Amino acid sequence: MVIREQRYTLEAFHAFSQRPENRDRLFELIDGEVVEKVASFIPSRIAGWISTYINMYLLKHPIGYVTGADGSYVLSPDHEFMPDVGYISRQRLPEIPMREVRGAPDLAVEVLSPTDSKRELRRKAEDYLRFGTRLVWLIFPETQRVEVYTPDDDVVELDLNGVLDGGEILPGFILPVRDIFPT
């Protein structure tokens, strides 16, 4: 949900999000506009499962870091995203920052919530790729489908019988799509 129609700089966005009335709310900066992230149970649960599976993989292969829905990535002066699940390699992030990460995640996972539109989510996937993300998973809870975006390939759609593959980003990581949806 767009909060303000005016364009914000990154500095003005940070000042806005740190106001006392906004401290318990989550915001993203998309094309200079402030957009509030609204939490809902099923998308949060799905993101939690994906985060858990990736973290279990990282216990055996400590090659990077996972962030949750409040982990912020500054992609450009007009874009600061908070993927529902983000992953960035240790190679790209040798020191963990206290605040936002400067740069794109290697993997971004976005789960469609009741306040999002598919069109907005797909545009966000394209933005991630444009700013350097190498793998994007868009999760659609109602249809139990996943769209996989990479810089060089067409979008791949997976149903419950599909398997999410970490590719070069998370070598050897696989996750059956059916395992991320609540039963």
* Residue 119 in domain: yes
SS3 80: strand
Residue 158, domain CATH:
3.90.1570.10
* Residue 13 in domain: no
Decide: pTM greater than 0.75: yes
Phi, psi for 175 (deg, rounded to 5): -145, 115
- Residues 86-111 pLDDT 10s: 999 999 987 776 677 889 999 999 99
Domain that holds residue 161: 38-180
* Residue 7 in domain: no
Q: Is 47 exposed, middle or buried (0-12, 13-18, 19+ CB in 10 A)?
A: buried
- Residues 128-180 pLDDT 10s: 999 999 999 999 999 999 999 999 888 999 999 999 999 999 999 999 999 99
Among 7-16, 44-53, 136-145, whose mean pLDDT is lowest?
Answer: 7-16
Domain count, the chain: 1
* Residue 20 in domain: no
